[in-house]
Amino acid sequence: MKMSGLKIGAPMAAAVIVDGVSTEAVGKALALGADMLELRVDTFKDRSTESLVKAFQRLKKIKGVKGIPILLTVRSKDEGARFEIKDGARLEIFRALIPFVDAVDIELGSTAILPHVVGQAKKNRKTIIVSSHDFNGTPTDKRLEAIISAGLAAGADVVKIAAYVRDASDVRRLAGLLVKHDKLIVIPMGEYGTPFRVFFPVLGSLSTYGSVTGKTAPGQLCLKDVISAFRAFGLKK
């Protein structure tokens, strides 16, 4: 899939950038071989629109960033944000920063702003990831299928499902989605799911995520380990 210069294809290792636009963190991610940079703005301490615009302008000038897709994520508190940001402020951030990125991630559950973010992203020809996160367990098959259908209906180019797994049956339920559907990112969260964060891209999950300076989800691997595993299995040069 390609839109606005962003080509998402398995296996893709996204570096999760937290706390702010740090030249050191971004440089480390690029040196390790990140295929994409996810900017988790909900973890940034300074979230004023003016400061964020300047930070993203600065990001584009960091050596090596040109040609690397940038994913904008401003998580809701219910789905894992570090700092709570009201919907109105989140929408303002999306609108200000969409011109500087290649893709956006917006939660299916953020119903108040979802259509506005999708509309703005489409207007600017950005790739749209509509996501759903369950930190308590893995939804039923019926619920998982409903999430995919609703995400696509909302305008997603890619639907992302992240769910906490406790045993093999949970993992099989998530893996089954990748057999039946394209254009998915599927992330198994929790300690039991950690190894499958590497293997799900082999089954067709379009991306996995690795931390650079700090984890943003239970069981998340550091980017270095993700890249090493990909290379060990011949999935990345």
Q: Catalytic amino acids?
A: 133, 160
d(CA 65, CA 23): 10
Q: What counts of helices (H) and strands (E) characterise the chain?
A: 8, 10
Asked if residue 11 has a cis previous peptide bond (ω within 30° of 0), the answer is yes
Q: At what angle do helices 196-203 and 223-232 cross, to 10 degrees?
A: 50
* 172 C-beta neighbours (distance < 10 Å), count: 11
* Contacts for 27-32: CB closer than 8 Å, 24+ residues apart: 27/62, 27/63, 27/64, 28/212, 28/213, 29/212, 29/223, 30/64, 30/65, 30/68, 32/212, 32/223, 32/224, 32/227
Query: Measured between alpha carbons, how far is 41 from 231 in angstroms, rounded to an integer?
Result: 29
Cα–Cα distance, 60 to 199 (Å, whole number): 31
